[in-house]
Structure 1
Amino acid sequence: MNPRDEPGELRDDHDEELRAEPGTDPEAGPGTTAPSVPYRTLIWLAVATFTTGIDGYVLAGLLPDIATDLDVTAALAGQLVSVFALTSAVAGPVLGATTSGWEQRRTILAALSTFVLGNLITAVAPTYALALGGRVLAALGGCLLAAAVTGYVVHLVAERDRGRALSFVLGGWMTATALGVPVGLILGQSNWRLPLVLVSVVGTVALVGIGLRLPPLRYPSSSLLDRLRPLARPHLVAGLLVSTGVLCASYTCFTYAVLILRPSHPAGWMIIVIMCGYGLASMLGNAVTGRLVDRFSPVRVLTVVLAGLLVDSLFGALALSLAVPSAVAVLSLVWFLLAGIGNGGHAVPQQARLAAMAPASVAVVMALNASAISLGSALGGGVGGLALATGLSPGHLPLIAAAVLALTLPLHLLVARWTRAAAARS
């Protein structure tokens, strides 16, 4: 065998593939171990996650306008968010398992192209049905993109730097909530379709950057049965349900955040500023936990985050239902921003924890986690919509979120104990 063909060696020629070998720096040349995170390579993946972040959040702030334009109720307009999440939940594992044996740069490019196309369809849709179809197509690309990007980072970067690398790439998603979403909401004041055009434009920029700068990478060869083997581990499946629980609690409130906050913050500019603050809070949580994971156990970091989210949900429920009107404006803002820190901070420790549970099947596990996240988002939007349809006020939604988190935290602790026991037996 020619020495240049050895797996794990990276070359500048992007027509040749890199076999997955954590710690290889695409900017350093053949056989060089990365001393830190290869940011110049990963920046384009961060831009890609930036597009999904705008898409995932901006529609929630425009539900009344969407409902009016498409002649549907606000609850039905909210299902444009939920159907995206539900489609991702169903399709994610299938697409992740099917494509994990493919060359991953091409997988990322195909997923991002589909995502962009779906957003363009929704942006020009004259009817609710066509807009819904565009959301389904965008979800198919988005769920595969999320899994492929995370798996790519985990395989490319050494374990000692994994927390910072994941934090950097996921930081694109968080940045979208801080910058992209407010810009999208400003554009959306004139037409709710313009933010989706923004998503498509930024996604196209990411496509060009990934195509030119991201090195090809293929995971170690394995059969489809081997890649699906983690599904036979009950503690891993239970760990994935932790993601579902966190996102269900988050989207129970966030999908209808405008309805919750508008009574105490009636001006349109207030909602934009609050959404910007939420995004900045998410970025803060993501950045802090990304560094903590490299120093402490991901399980320990995640425990603190989940406990904080539970306390904050209870605080929000009390503030919205018991506080005097003059205090609600301040207290609801505190609740929402603290939720942003927690929701932004849970992703890195959860993904690092799942990757450590099945290191040989990271691509499939990340696809399953993306599915679990999407399922949680869909459940949250559906549960929130059902609660509103039954007559509950938007102010009651944090209490429902607290109930979900009250089940999720013990499940997380059980998974941690279960995993330690499994490791001790092996």
Structure 2
Amino acid sequence: MNYRLLILVLGTFIIGTDDFVIAGLLPNIASDMNVTIAVAGQLVTAFAIAYAIGAPVLGTLTFNMPVKTLLVLSMFVFTSANGLSAIVTSFELLFVTRVIAALAAAVFTPLAMAASTSLVPDTMRGKALSFVIAGITVGLILGAPIGTWIGNAMTWRYSFVFVAVVSFVTVIGILIFLPKIEREASVSIKERLKSFNKMIVLTLSVSVIGTTGGFMTYTYIAPIITEITNIENISIFLLLLGIGALFGNLVGGYLTDRIGAPTTLKLSLFGFAILLAALSLLPVLNPSTLAIVLVGLISLLWGIPGFGMNPALNAFLISLNPTQASMILSFSASALYMGIGLGAIVGGGVIRFSSVNYVGLGSSILVIVALMIFIFVNRAVNKKATTANPTV
């Protein structure tokens, strides 16, 4: 594999870290900024929605800029935003720096994926792409627990310092190691919208609703786990979740090839709903060794269906319109981040009007709704295929 891909992987790794580490720092940020956990959770909303909107819009607006220049500029802005996040004195300013970081990440990540394919032979493009995407998952597995540990060992501000330092190393690496990279053909937002149809929109809604359910719980995982176990530093649980997420990506891809995307997605959503609901049942146990073990087990298992559904969902989306695969996947990424942002809002609402003990149950209900929508979509697609090919 081309060694120059490593610098792009480092970039997606630290973006994944920056995205996911907030969940482990929420109690500390809320306390330091004198806001509630629910309000602090809107930092996740700010990042996710800014990314969801920024990816297609900024990708089009910056299309005429050279790839290497844009990679350097976006990562430098990302570095600066995280550096500022470490020193801001108000929650409002922290909110702004999170939005700036998200917009920079929205430019860098898809560009890094596209750049990776130009650094290797045509026969290795798929591997190069998966390699760069894996950086985000590694950010969840290693980066988020490391950042959470730093934040708990010192203060949450040093977690952002950690992100800023690694981001700056990425900037230097791009400047030194990456060659000039040619642009692909320009695609306008109007052309992107041509890839839509009713079934694709409904399938994207499955992604939004299912992700909203999952990130209702993930955003507030720190107070949820602390409530059940009395453990404040949850970095070990985040590590277990990350391991499950990596395994889930592999299993999801394997099952998609073996039993099909629809079956894999249905199994993933059903299993995910059960595990999320279980987190609302565990508070009936007093904090104990048993409670800690069960939370650890759920954290490990949660990542399998939670991340295993992504390969299946994207494979199903592509099957709906194979000629517009890249466009559909770009909107799939936006749907994912929209769900992340909505998860923080809805989860915060549940906490505000009830307690953290009901977040898991609310998450489970939303995932079940996503499952019901997908069952309808899959039946409609199969019916249409049977009508079009009655002999099949």
**What TM-score do you get using the length of structure 1 for normalisation?**
0.79
Note closer, same or farther for the CA distance 1:149–1:293 as it changes in structure 2 (3 Å cut): farther
Aligned twin of 2:224: 260
Structure 1: how far apart are the matches of 2:343 and 2:2?
Answer: 34
**Once the 2 structures are TM-superposed, how far is the Cα of residue 157 of structure 1 from its aligned partner?**
8.5
Q: 2:194 aligns with which of 217, 229, 247?
A: 229
Q: Is the 8 A contact 2:269 2:371 kept in 1?
A: yes
Does residue 213 of the first structure (1) align with residue 175 of the second (2)? no
**Once the 2 structures are TM-superposed, how far is the Cα of residue 223 of structure 1 from its aligned partner?**
4.9
Q: Is the 8 A contact 2:261 2:312 kept in 1?
A: yes
Does residue 247 of the first structure (1) align with residue 211 of the second (2)? yes
Structure 2: how far apart are the matches of 1:186 and 1:99?
Answer: 37
**Once the 2 structures are TM-superposed, how far is the Cα of residue 378 of structure 1 from its aligned partner?**
1.4
Query: Match for 1:252: what amino acid?
Result: M
Aligned twin of 2:151: 188
Query: Match for 2:157: what amino acid?
Result: R
Aligned twin of 2:138: 175
**Once the 2 structures are TM-superposed, how far is the Cα of residue 73 of structure 1 from its aligned partner?**
2.1
Q: Is the 8 A contact 2:41 2:348 kept in 1?
A: yes
Aligned twin of 1:401: 363
Aligned twin of 2:45: 82
Does residue 200 of the first structure (1) align with residue 164 of the second (2)? yes
Q: Is the 8 A contact 2:8 2:112 kept in 1?
A: yes
Q: Is the 8 A contact 1:96 1:364 kept in 2?
A: no
Q: 2:342 aligns with which of 357, 379, 390?
A: 379
Query: Match for 1:317: what amino acid?
Result: S
Note closer, same or farther for the CA distance 1:207–1:339 as it changes in structure 2 (3 Å cut): same
Q: Which moved more, 1:394-403 or 1:238-247?
A: 238-247
**Once the 2 structures are TM-superposed, how far is the Cα of residue 309 of structure 1 from its aligned partner?**
0.7
Note closer, same or farther for the CA distance 1:223–1:385 as it changes in structure 2 (3 Å cut): closer
**Once the 2 structures are TM-superposed, how far is the Cα of residue 304 of structure 1 from its aligned partner?**
2.5
Q: 1:354 aligns with which of 303, 310, 317?
A: 317
Does residue 412 of the first structure (1) align with residue 374 of the second (2)? yes
Structure 2: how far apart are the matches of 1:365 and 1:315?
Answer: 34
Structure 2: how far apart are the matches of 1:121 and 1:84?
Answer: 15
Structure 2: how far apart are the matches of 1:273 and 1:59?
Answer: 15
Q: Is the 8 A contact 2:4 2:178 kept in 1?
A: yes
What SS does the corresponding residue of 1:375 show, helix, strand or coil? Answer: helix
Structure 2: how far apart are the matches of 1:111 and 1:369?
Answer: 22
Note closer, same or farther for the CA distance 1:307–1:144 as it changes in structure 2 (3 Å cut): farther
Structure 2: how far apart are the matches of 1:146 and 1:272?
Answer: 25
Q: Which moved more, 1:164-173 or 1:130-139?
A: 164-173
Aligned twin of 2:98: 135
Q: 1:116 aligns with which of 68, 79, 90?
A: 79
What SS does the corresponding residue of 1:264 show, helix, strand or coil? Answer: helix
1:267-307 per-residue CA deviation (whole Å, 9 max, x = no partner) reads 444x1211111112212212333444455533443333222
Note closer, same or farther for the CA distance 1:230–1:411 as it changes in structure 2 (3 Å cut): same
Q: 1:126 aligns with which of 84, 89, 114?
A: 89
Note closer, same or farther for the CA distance 1:328–1:199 as it changes in structure 2 (3 Å cut): same
Structure 2: how far apart are the matches of 1:236 and 1:222?
Answer: 19
**Once the 2 structures are TM-superposed, how far is the Cα of residue 197 of structure 1 from its aligned partner?**
1.6
- Higher relative helix content: 2
Q: Is the 8 A contact 1:288 1:345 kept in 2?
A: yes
Structure 2: how far apart are the matches of 1:107 and 1:293?
Answer: 35
**Alignment RMSD (CA, Å):** 3.1
Query: Match for 1:383: what amino acid?
Result: V
**Percent of aligned pairs with the same residue?**
30
Structure 1: how far apart are the matches of 2:133 and 2:6?
Answer: 10
Structure 2: how far apart are the matches of 1:121 and 1:56?
Answer: 16
Q: Aligned ranges for residues 37-48 of structure 1 at < 5 Å? A: 38=1, 40-48=3-11
Q: Is the 8 A contact 1:171 1:287 kept in 2?
A: no
Does residue 332 of the first structure (1) align with residue 291 of the second (2)? no
Structure 1: how far apart are the matches of 2:273 and 2:11?
Answer: 31
Structure 2: how far apart are the matches of 1:43 and 1:148?
Answer: 15
Q: Which runs of 5+ in 2 are unaligned?
A: none
**Once the 2 structures are TM-superposed, how far is the Cα of residue 245 of structure 1 from its aligned partner?**
1.8
Query: Match for 1:244: what amino acid?
Result: V
Does residue 95 of the first structure (1) align with residue 89 of the second (2)? no
Query: Match for 1:411: what amino acid?
Result: I
Note closer, same or farther for the CA distance 1:115–1:224 as it changes in structure 2 (3 Å cut): same
Equivalent residue pairs, number = 385
